[in-house]
Structure 1
Amino acid sequence: MGEMAESYVIGLDFGSDSGRAVIVDTHTGKELGCGVCNYPRWMEGKYSDAAESRFRHHPLDYIESMTAAIKSALLEAGEGVADKVVGIGVDTTGSTPAPVDEKGEILALKPEFAENPNAMFILWKDHTSVEVADRINTLAKSDKFEDYTKFVGGIYSSEWFLSKAAYVSEQDEAVAKAAHTWVELCDWLPALLSDNLHPQSIKRGICAAGHKALWHESWGGLPPQEFLNAISPTLEGMRANYSEEVYTSEAVAGRLSAEWSEKLGLKEGIAIAVGEFDCHMGAVGAGARAGDLVKVMGTSTCDILMVEPEELGDKTIEGICGQVLGSALPDMVTLEAGQSAFGDIYAWYKRLLAWPMQQWAKDHPEDQPTMEKLEESLLPMLTQAVSQREPFSDGALALDWHNGRRTPYANQRLTGSINKLNLGSDAPEVFHGLVESTAFGAKAITESMKDQGAPIKRVIAIGGISKKSSLVMQMCSDVMGYEIAVVDSEQCCALGAGIFAAVAAGTYATTEEAQKAMASPICQVYHPRPTRMKHYQRRYNAYQQLGQAMEVLTMTQAEAFAEEMAEEKEEALA
């Protein structure tokens, strides 16, 4: 390929709390400008209830944050850059679906649904649909149907597309009646930017379809409508209104519309790449190829393993979040796994310890600045204390299931637990146990994959925790028994989206070519320490035993509660 003209792309990354835009040089992968904008309604605590595991995003939060972030990034990049932007790529959390009408408009953007949480995007960590997920799994394992969960690890999750769509529709008749179909956030945003929202023309990505909606080429799209109707009558028509054809992210979803060209100050008609989930884009931005396991480490983790199709063959890997050809790199099968809570667990412990300070500050406003400063110092102080005392010979043993278990073998009914406490247990010991538990959860994933023949040659880490906490990263290396390479870019997901934008724009012929030029380099490598590995293997065995016991207890209690509720219902009807 000859000398290329100067050009840039924009990678858009939509997380749980904010949207960000990164402007990337297509020749070098250098990041010229970055803009970040929190979701305003989300930050006010609107439409969600953590106690009920209900988490919703208003579509206006995405629209407003995207606009602000792009303008901020362009301002930082400097004069003349906007005219040389040739494409936009988009990654988002997932599964984060929303109901749309027959024109493709999100119901929450219509006046009659503007304040209805059920008409909004159902965030990935919303677990309100556990019972529907159970229903899907029961049907898939029955004699009535083929096992449509076999390519998603054999267990369907309440975090995913169909369970959320069915649950919300069953709870809200008005939404069910107005909804023509449902759309993933990573598919909707490219469609919005290119004015290609109609349900029959929107280009849905293989990433969301294959990992979260049970789409597979062997059954020609979504599972048969008979199966979907058995899940819930509210899914009637879902298969017909969902694309038979899906796309990898180097494909063009559309072209920037005149309306969005004017709003953003970008050229009309530039390429918009097909959307993908953030963790998959992050693996691409990290330069991952065959045998690379990329850990996206933030509030939760998502683990992305790239496998050559020939190496996997006809094997189906159980207990993961899907194996899909082309969901990250077009020529690789992507195995997805992850932990439903990671950094969220550290944040929870901080909130727990900070509660008395927050209450004091309410009654003593003059002390509020001091209390806030102290609160921000909690985790750094705990980290320092643990670093000085680690490894603990014994002590608090925890489970990392505070937000349920994603993998291996999804079970969102499970909860966190802390064991082996005594009157000598202190705050650093408990914090160590919590950090250790997240590392154990990571090891459980790699062990499950390896045991089933999925090859892991290298571990790569991206995300905020990988750059901020040497304690967490070193412990993960010791526990997992792998070298962990940390990627330099702090915006690796957005960078991956930019790589696909460059391919969609025609700057590169293939994603592999674009990766070689634009992917982020490695900035640090953590090495497992043999003496610590032996110590943590013993602790990991105890973690597994504790997990097995707590899972039996939790599920027994859940069954007893369900029976009690059924009896009460029968009595009420009588």
Structure 2
Amino acid sequence: MPTPFASPAYVIGLDYGTDSVRALLVDARTGAEVEQAVHTYPRWKRGQYCNPAKNRFRQHPLDHLEGLEATVREVAAQVPAAQIIGLAIDTTGSTPGPVNEQGQLLGMLPEFAENPNALFVLWKDHTALAEAAEINYKARTWGGEDFTKYSGGIYSSEWFWAKIMHITRQDEAVAKAAYSWMEHCDWLTLTLTGQPLVGFKRSRCAAGHKAMWHASWGGLPPEEFLTHLELKLAGLRNRLFTETYTADEVAGHLSAEWAERLGLTTNTVIAVGSFDAHAGAVAGEIESYSMVKVMGTSTCDIVVAPTAEVGDRLVAGICGQVDGSVIPGMVGLEAGQSAFGDLLAWFRQLLEWPLQAATLAHSQVLSAEQLALFHQELSDNLLRQLTQAAAEVDPAESSVLALDWVNGRRTPDANQALKGALLNLTMGTSAPQIFRALVEAICYGSKQIVERFESEGIPVKQVIGIGGVAKKSAFVMQTLADVLDRPIKIAVSEQAPALGAAMYAAVAAGVYPDVLASQKALGSGFAETYTPNPARVADYAARYAQYQALGQFVESATAAQAEPVAETETQAVATA
């Protein structure tokens, strides 16, 4: 496709994941991926500011800024700076943080530097379970509009307002110092442009899916509802935003300070921010009624449909439906699983513990450096061997059944209080059998999502896989194809969300007129397709029914255990 740029032109996509940031330099005329760089967050890797036992996961902005500088400088060095015309950022979400009037994250200030509540509250942080339950109760009972209806009808502890409520109640110093709150993708974009906070272009993707923003009620929920949720939220709405913008629009240009730090120029256009799964869906060449599954530590499942065809239809129990959140002119619908690769990593860590605690931690013959290398080699080999052995297990000879809710359930019908489970263990049960059951469980969770979309009138015509699990685990992908009884196409790009961000950047920089044109020109295609094995499909259908029965049992037991607490909370809410 011809472009208005006769001379070389490049764009950079920055993808902020849970563990690391990736920068991808893309030829804006051909789609060639010229260079990529990855930076792992050091503070996050050390477990700082987190407490997994309490579901607290926080990230320090210095991890993100250091990664930004390191990766962009590395990829930008491949071509003349003047030829890099656009940059766009995608991040995890909802990952909000408190900022002062200048837009600086509070955790960057000396008085809050070591306060986890002043940092970014990562998507997987579930400390706001009570606040999410309260939002859901009050949204249905306050006597006005139900502001959760475009968020699948169930607000999650993983999202914007629940997290703000929790920290506002928990930490008075942070609550008083927080002039506003920003999603990670917005804050990074603001930082690069150096613009004032007031009037800054906030992400439609983030606001619509996680902050109950919708054009029909004038943007964010009204002050009356927010103060009904929590009186301490009074005034915050006016310090947030009213309008939102799609990811193909110009947020600003690179500031002089950051142009120097990154080795770029102030002519570089910075696009409005987005979430990683939505950018990844664009790179996965999503089209009407395709489902792009972004498979990593968790999954995000993205579907787009023409706005006119969706109309007033509300899809229950998903993570939102937002006009323009993925592709302008289409409704983006999001679902997902709170644990996907995370579930398999949990089991690997469980098996590693005895060796680490009993042997490696007390070694008298290996240096600290040798221990670290040996542990990494052990970890890599363990997952490889588990996968190989699990693939050889005959499902007919193993009755082990697993439930994948170790990090709660995101979709369908968000409930982060739910827990995982294992059923049918015997003295003969092996580690590979359990591992296979865990793989099957995450695939059954995916099947529930597909069924929910279709039962709500949104057909899923094809499934596309992107992300680390999709690229690295043929066993998981074949099992998924068998469970879904559908072919699954795997995108070529190793860095799909970063490529999608680059596609947005190319539109913002004026190379292409819209996202569809950018997607067509810069798309990398598909590497392979996994097709269902007919011999497995019927077996998995029977086991899926058992999975659903186990899920119903665990959910009813969880509800029964929580009943007295829920009753007390309801009484408190009614009194308030």
1:329 paired with 2:331, answer no
Is the contact made by 2:3 and 2:511 (CA closer than 8 Å) also made in structure 1? Answer: no
How many Å apart are 1:563 and its aligned residue? 6.7
**1:287 alignment counterpart:** 285
Cα distance in 2, alignment partners of residues 96 and 390 from structure 1:
41
How many Å apart are 1:299 and its aligned residue? 0.5
Is the contact made by 1:105 and 1:197 (CA closer than 8 Å) also made in structure 2? Answer: no
Is the contact made by 1:298 and 1:463 (CA closer than 8 Å) also made in structure 2? Answer: yes
Is the contact made by 2:400 and 2:425 (CA closer than 8 Å) also made in structure 1? Answer: yes
Output one character per residue of 1:257-288: Cα deviation in whole Å (capped at 9) or x when no partner: 11111111101131100000000000011111
Cα distance in 1, alignment partners of residues 315 and 4 from structure 2:
44
How many Å apart are 1:197 and its aligned residue? 4.2
Cα distance in 1, alignment partners of residues 109 and 142 from structure 2:
42
**1:429 alignment counterpart:** 433
Q: Specify the SS of the correspondent of 2:67.
A: helix
1:492 paired with 2:496, answer yes
Output one character per residue of 1:384-437: Cα deviation in whole Å (capped at 9) or x when no partner: 112222434441101110000000000000011001111111111100100000
Is the contact made by 2:489 and 2:530 (CA closer than 8 Å) also made in structure 1? Answer: yes
Identity %: 49
Counterparts of 1:271-286 in structure 2, within 5 Å, are 271-286=269-284
Is the contact made by 2:249 and 2:508 (CA closer than 8 Å) also made in structure 1? Answer: yes
How many Å apart are 1:561 and its aligned residue? 5.3
Q: 1:26 aligns with which of 15, 25, 28?
A: 28
> Could you tell which deviates more after superposition, 357-366 or 383-392?
383-392
**1:106 alignment counterpart:** 105
How many Å apart are 1:531 and its aligned residue? 2.4
Q: 2:516 aligns with which of 509, 512, 531?
A: 512
**1:379 alignment counterpart:** 383
Cα distance in 1, alignment partners of residues 99 and 379 from structure 2:
42
1:302 paired with 2:319, answer no
**1:171 alignment counterpart:** 170
Counterparts of 1:158-237 in structure 2, within 5 Å, are 158-198=157-197, 200-237=198-235
Is the contact made by 1:137 and 1:155 (CA closer than 8 Å) also made in structure 2? Answer: yes
* Residue segments in structure 1 that go unaligned for 5+ positions in a row: 570-574
Q: Specify the SS of the correspondent of 1:90.
A: strand
How many Å apart are 1:381 and its aligned residue? 1.0
Is the contact made by 2:100 and 2:106 (CA closer than 8 Å) also made in structure 1? Answer: yes
How many Å apart are 1:302 and its aligned residue? 0.4
TM-score by length of 1: 0.96
How many Å apart are 1:562 and its aligned residue? 5.9
Distance 1:566 1:162, change over 3 A: closer
How many Å apart are 1:45 and its aligned residue? 1.3
1:438 paired with 2:442, answer yes
**1:572 alignment counterpart:** none
How many Å apart are 1:371 and its aligned residue? 5.7
Cα distance in 2, alignment partners of residues 330 and 371 from structure 1:
46
Output one character per residue of 1:132-156: Cα deviation in whole Å (capped at 9) or x when no partner: 0001000111152211111010000
Distance 1:436 1:52, change over 3 A: same
> Could you tell which deviates more after superposition, 389-398 or 294-303?
389-398
TM-score by length of 2: 0.95
Q: Specify the SS of the correspondent of 2:238.
A: coil
Distance 1:544 1:258, change over 3 A: same
Cα distance in 1, alignment partners of residues 558 and 106 from structure 2:
37
Cα distance in 2, alignment partners of residues 171 and 370 from structure 1:
41
Counterparts of 1:415-564 in structure 2, within 5 Å, are 415-560=419-564
Paired residue type of 2:332? T
Paired residue type of 1:307? A
Is the contact made by 1:257 and 1:269 (CA closer than 8 Å) also made in structure 2? Answer: no
Output one character per residue of 1:350-378: Cα deviation in whole Å (capped at 9) or x when no partner: 01111111011111243646565333211
Distance 1:374 1:244, change over 3 A: closer
Cα distance in 2, alignment partners of residues 343 and 322 from structure 1:
23
Paired residue type of 1:204? R
Is the contact made by 2:3 and 2:29 (CA closer than 8 Å) also made in structure 1? Answer: no
Is the contact made by 1:492 and 1:520 (CA closer than 8 Å) also made in structure 2? Answer: no
Output one character per residue of 1:151-206: Cα deviation in whole Å (capped at 9) or x when no partner: 010000000000001110100001111111111011111111001241x2211011
Cα distance in 1, alignment partners of residues 379 and 464 from structure 2:
31
Cα distance in 2, alignment partners of residues 393 and 311 from structure 1:
46
Q: Specify the SS of the correspondent of 1:240.
A: helix
Paired residue type of 1:535? D
Q: Specify the SS of the correspondent of 1:20.
A: strand
1:264 paired with 2:300, answer no
> Could you tell which deviates more after superposition, 153-162 or 420-429?
420-429
**1:149 alignment counterpart:** 148
> Could you tell which deviates more after superposition, 446-455 or 372-381?
372-381
Cα distance in 2, alignment partners of residues 319 and 45 from structure 1:
32
Is the contact made by 2:99 and 2:182 (CA closer than 8 Å) also made in structure 1? Answer: yes
Cα distance in 1, alignment partners of residues 538 and 468 from structure 2:
28
Aligned residues: 564
Cα distance in 1, alignment partners of residues 41 and 375 from structure 2:
26
**1:65 alignment counterpart:** 67
How many Å apart are 1:2 and its aligned residue? 5.5
How many Å apart are 1:112 and its aligned residue? 1.0
* Residue segments in structure 2 that go unaligned for 5+ positions in a row: none
Paired residue type of 2:560? T
Output one character per residue of 1:22-71: Cα deviation in whole Å (capped at 9) or x when no partner: 10011121111111111121122111111110011111111111000111
How many Å apart are 1:530 and its aligned residue? 2.1
Cα distance in 2, alignment partners of residues 528 and 197 from structure 1:
53
Is the contact made by 1:395 and 1:420 (CA closer than 8 Å) also made in structure 2? Answer: yes
